[in-house]
Amino acid sequence: MNIDESLNKQIESARQRLHDLYEEQCGFGHACVLEQSMILDELINQYNRMYQTKKLHHYVQSAPQSFVCKTITLPT
């Protein structure tokens, strides 16, 4: 199992736990529900950071090695 799959499973598990706690405690106001919500938020943040890093890495690798700048003259 790779990191993506592991993190996805953790997120799904945390989401299900949040749902279960919400049902048991009758809402979001209970401390354990809020705590689980923060845990889920952090896992989602980790996923987003990982995705952004991969996206940036892919962009840098696929960027051309040299850029050609042209000077243009605008009509006056």
What pTM, to 2 d.p., does this model score? Answer: 0.66
Looking at residue 8, the DSSP 8-state letter turns out to be H
Both tokens assigned to 51: 């995705």
Q: Report the pLDDT value the prediction gives residue 67, as an integer from 0 to 100.
A: 47
Q: Where do runs of H (alpha helix) occur along 26-75?
A: 31-62
Q: Report the pLDDT value the prediction gives residue 43, as an integer from 0 to 100.
A: 95
Phi and psi at residue 48, in whole multiples of 5°? Answer: -65, -40
Is the pLDDT at 8 greater than 90, yes or no?
Answer: yes
Give the CATH fold of the 3-61 domain: MYOD Basic-Helix-Loop-Helix Domain, subunit B (4.10.280)
On the CB side of 23, how many CA atoms lie within 13 Å of its CA?
6
For 21-73, write each residue's pLDDT tens digit. Answer: 999 887 778 899 999 999 999 999 999 998 888 766 655 566 555 545 556 56
Q: Report the pLDDT value the prediction gives residue 33, as an integer from 0 to 100.
A: 92
Q: Report the pLDDT value the prediction gives residue 54, as an integer from 0 to 100.
A: 75
Please report, for the chain, the start and end positions of each structural domain, with discontinuous segments joined by +: 3-61
Do 40 and 73 touch, CB atoms closer than 8 A? no
Please give the Cα distance from 13 to 19 (Å, whole number): 10
